Structure 1
Amino acid sequence: MNKKEEFIELINKSYNFKKDSFILGAAKLGDEVLTDTFVRLPLKTFNRHGLIAGATGTGKTKTLQIMAEQLSANGVPSLVMDIKGDLSGIAVPGNMHPKIIERHDKIGLPYIPSGSPVEFLTLSDEKGARLRATVSEFGPILFSKILGLNDTQAGIIAVVFKYCDDNDIPLVDLKDIKKVLQYLSNDGKEEFVETYGTMSSVSLGTILRKIVELEQQGAEIFFGEPSFDVNDLLRVDSEGQGIVSVLRLTDLQDRPKLFSTFMLQMLAEIYSIFPEEGDLDKPKLVIFIDEAHLVFEEASDALLDQIEV
């Protein structure tokens, strides 16, 4: 058995999975594409974290797109964060092109152009369904993390949330929480102190400044109604294909606070709503972040801590 035959045997043996999998491409030996020698990915592996690494132009985004398409075809929905606008084309069939056909012939797969079922989402004024959440839904702990408050300031936020709950005061957006804080530091101070205790005016001022900073980074457009439901990310279409939810982030590279705010809320919702199910044969949802370094370089410490957990 020569080197090529040994390599083909190794690939076929290594990528022969008992459970469901999909073809990512064909193996190469040197510069030669080995026809019908497929590299497969088992659906079960998508229960884990993963990294697609490579130099510029080596096909990282295209690999991500193929994964999302194949997962969709296997009934697995995904959330794809599109920082550069490169992934929108997943919604429509590709064009027939001699080079694409030639490439597929080398791989050993027929080229059948097809689109995936897609819903476009946005956090800003980009086209798509707007994702929003209320301040109340964040809760005092998560809201304090977003603002980067210390323990004393976070304690004040917790008491303020309790005051609003006790008095049926809705906290929909940042304007609401600012108005409550301003009221409690002035006209409502005496009423508040009688039931909930004193609050440092210095700490209140710091919290208000932190909220203004959040507004200046554009995060105020995320707070409001109607709130997004993470269960909407789990949908499949009438043909059993997973919906690919493409979150358009092309205008958020200079607004890391907005992205961090959304991610913290979404992860908190996923952890609290979705049950712990162990190592499933295929995931219920896969999250892809294209060009992740662009959105995580300026991400908040709270978000990085949450993802590490």
Structure 2
Amino acid sequence: MYKDGKIWVANNENGEKVFLLPKMANRHGLIAGATGTGKTVTLKVLAEGFSDMGVPVFLADVKGDLSGMVSEGRDSEDMQTRIRRFGLDEAHFSYTKYPATFWDVFGKEGIPLRTTVSEMGPLLLSRILGLNDLQRDILSITFKIADDNDLLLVDTKDLKAMLNYISENNKEFAADYGNISKVSIAAIVRAIVSLEIEGADKFFFEPALNIRDFFTTGEGGKGMINILDSTSLINNGTLYATFLLWMLSELFETLPEVGDLDKPKMVFFFDEAHLLFADTPKLLMDKIEQVVKLIRSKGVGIYFVTQNPRDIPDGVLAQLGNKIQHALRAYTPSDMKAVKVAADSFRENPAFKTADVIQELGTGEAVCSLLDEDGIPTVVEKVSILPPQSLMGGIDDSLREKEIKQSVLYSKYYEAEDPDSAYEFLERKGLADAEAKAKLKAEEEAAKAKAKEEAAAARAKEKEEAAEARKKKQAAKSVGNAVAGTVGREVGKTFGGKFGKFGKTLGGNLGASLGRGILSTLFKV
């Protein structure tokens, strides 16, 4: 509840009001406690207070019970009991509805919330896909090759097309980018297909979210409460966590440095915060810690909602100045250790033992330490959280649909767009390469056919010339034989006259041989 320029969060055991100071709200915070101890009520009270002071809020609605913020609260015996306990009257408390914009990665329970593969980046995408170090490096190289070739990676089909292109041409890329294993690329593609089967591919599309659209106000100047329906998204804890980290990175990279402000520019509440840090690679954990440390200077406050402070890494927990711890139950030695960790995160109060009080808290009660005017954590004290002014629980589908379609952002983000990007470019390139290859093949085949025809013509000519030569030789032989016969006969007559029959035969053979030899020389070709 917003009162006197501060957020009235609770009353302590002495009935004194406990306030969260707006100028300390960007120092981040923690809301912790076991299931059913009142974390959601605390979150709603803080969110309503920020909205009342004109600060936009982002909520991840994991259980579906935060949508009631668009409706006025309903009176009940329990609410009246709580109102009387805090001494509230109509001047200080009234059931109120708050301006809200509903978002949904899957586009079912809110305005579709999208980004592009390029904007998500290889580090966060590797976490979603569950890649090992080698595969993550190859994915980073893929992004680098895409950047070097001015190829935009919008959706998952762009990324798959790029990976397949690199796989087919990995030898060409090896000199500039190192060896790229086809086996590793195949594993990455399979992981992407698995993500598509789960429906997460709907998240990677245009128009991508402009994070500045969160920074709006509603009726009466109240800060817009952006509610991300996470009832389905939470089924994939890695996707849920990575998505929230992406938004945090977007804020960090988009917003300018503003230093300390009188009130934050925006406040984020991350429910089920332990999922943000589970199985997180060191490289990503270092980035998270860096963002949490530095984003406060950009006017953004982050509040983690989880069961136990030990769900949060020490490097992040140390940055959380405002802490509200609901009850924890200790049934085992491990549980007792968890209680002690929670108690040790507070500044000690000499009036009680914090670990004992944490185990004795009832629903709606908490131990609390908020930053004072000098940014110093107050001594821990036991408090009772105020009741929320908006509706506890969810709303019906008809009211949700009405709120979604009335949003000024509905028309901007509702229809998905598929721009000309890497997939389309590589598809055109593939067709062009195929056409060029087909043309080259046709030219080669034509050249081969022409060479074959020329060879056949040459062989025919050679054959013809050979036949002609044979004819000439045959003609020469015939003439030679005739002449040789005549010469032989004449010589034979001469020899025969002198030497008788033997001389005639010898002279005929000799004359024929002489005639053939002479004519063979004369008619040789």
**CA shift digits 1:214-241 (9 cap, x unpaired):** 4355432211111011111221125221
CA distance in 2, matches of 1:304, 1:240: 37
Which of 91, 97, 110 is residue 70 of structure 2 equivalent to? 91
Take 1:297 and 1:268, find their aligned partners in 2: how far apart are those partners? 15
User: Structure 2: how far apart are the matches of 1:124 and 1:298?
Assistant: 23
Answer yes or no: is 1:227 the counterpart of 2:208. yes
Shift of 1:126: 3.3
Of Structure 1 and Structure 2, the greater helix share is in: 2
| Structure 1 CA distance for aligned equivalents of residues 81 and 132 of structure 2 | 60
Please list the CA deviations of residues 160-189 of structure 1 after superposition, one character each: whole Å capped at 9, or x if unmatched. 323333444331111211122112222x45
**Partner of residue 208, structure 1:** 189
SS of 1:185 mapped into structure 2: helix
Which residue in the other structure is 2:318 paired with?
A: none
The residue aligned with 2:146 is: 164
By relative contact order (CA 8 Å, sep 6+), the higher-ranking structure is 1
CA distance in 2, matches of 1:122, 1:306: 26
Structure-2 change in CA distance of 1:158 and 1:253 (3 Å): closer
Report what 1:12 is aligned to. Answer: none
Q: Is the 8 A contact 1:43 1:282 kept in 2?
A: yes
| Contact 2:51/2:222, CA 8 A, preserved across alignment | yes
> Which of 278, 284, 309 matches 2:265?
284
What is the alpha-carbon distance in structure 1 between the residues aligned to residue 150 and residue 192 of structure 2? Answer: 22
1:82 aligns with one of 61, 69, 89: 61
Residue 252, structure 1, aligned to residue 233, structure 2: yes
Whichever residue aligns with residue 28 of structure 1, its letter is E
2:233 is paired with a residue whose SS is coil
Of 165, 178, 196 in structure 2, the residue corresponding to residue 183 of structure 1 is 165
> Aligned partners of 1:124 and 1:299: how far apart in 2?
24
Cα 1:146–1:54 change in 2 (3 A) is: closer
CA contact (8 A) 1:260 1:303 kept: no
Aligned residues: 284
- 1:106 matched residue in structure 2: 85
Deviation at 1:86, TM superposition (A): 1.4
Q: Find the counterpart in structure 2 of residue 13 from structure 1.
A: none
Q: For the Cα contact (< 8 Å) 2:242–2:276, is it kept in 1?
A: no
Task: Output the amino acid matched with 1:23.
Answer: W
Q: Which residue of 1 aligns with 2:13?
A: 28
Work out whether residues 252 and 259 of structure 1, in 8 Å CA contact, stay in contact via their aligned partners in 2: yes
Does residue 28 of structure 2 align to residue 46 of structure 1? no
Is the CA contact 1:24–1:39 (under 8 Å) kept in the aligned structure 2? yes
**Letter of the structure 1 residue corresponding to residue 254 of structure 2:** I
| In 2: Cα distance, 1:292 partner to 1:261 partner | 11
How far residue 256 of structure 1 moved from its aligned partner, in angstroms, is 1.6
SS in 1 for 2:223: coil
- 1:137 maps to 119
5+ residue gaps, structure 2, are 291-525
> Between the two proteins, what is the percent identity of the paired residues?
44
Question: Given the superposition, is the C-alpha separation of residues 155 and 54 from structure 1 closer, same or farther in structure 2, using an over 3 Å criterion?
Answer: closer
The residue number in structure 1 matching 2:155 is 173
Aligned residue number for residue 317 of structure 2: none
Structure 1 residue 45: deviation in Å?
2.7
Q: TM-score with structure 2 length normalisation? A: 0.49
Deviation by residue 1:250-279 (Cα, 9 ceiling, x = unmatched): 122321232133123212211111123223
Evaluate the alpha carbon distance shift between residue 224 and residue 58 of structure 1 in structure 2; reply closer, same or farther with a 3 A threshold: same
Q: Give the aligned residue type for 1:21.
A: K
Residue ranges of structure 1 left out of the alignment (5+ in a row): 1-16
8 Å contact 1:91–1:116 — kept in the other structure? Answer: yes
State which of 119, 139, 150 in structure 1 corresponds to 2:101.
Answer: 119
| Change in 2 beyond 3 A, CA 1:290/1:207 | closer
Q: Supply the distance in 2 between the matched residues of 1:59 and 1:260 (Cα, whole angstroms).
A: 23
Q: Is the 8 A contact 1:43 1:281 kept in 2?
A: yes
| Residue of structure 2 equivalent to 1:3 | none
Shift of 1:248: 0.8
Residue identity matched to 2:139: I
1:254/1:98 Cα in 2 relative to 1: closer, same or farther (>3 Å)?
A: closer
Aligned 8 A contact 1:140 1:154 in 2: yes
Pick from 30, 41, 66: which aligns with 2:45?
66
Q: Kindly state the Cα deviation for residue 213 of structure 1 after the two structures are TM-superposed.
A: 4.2
Q: 1:23: Cα distance to partner?
A: 1.1
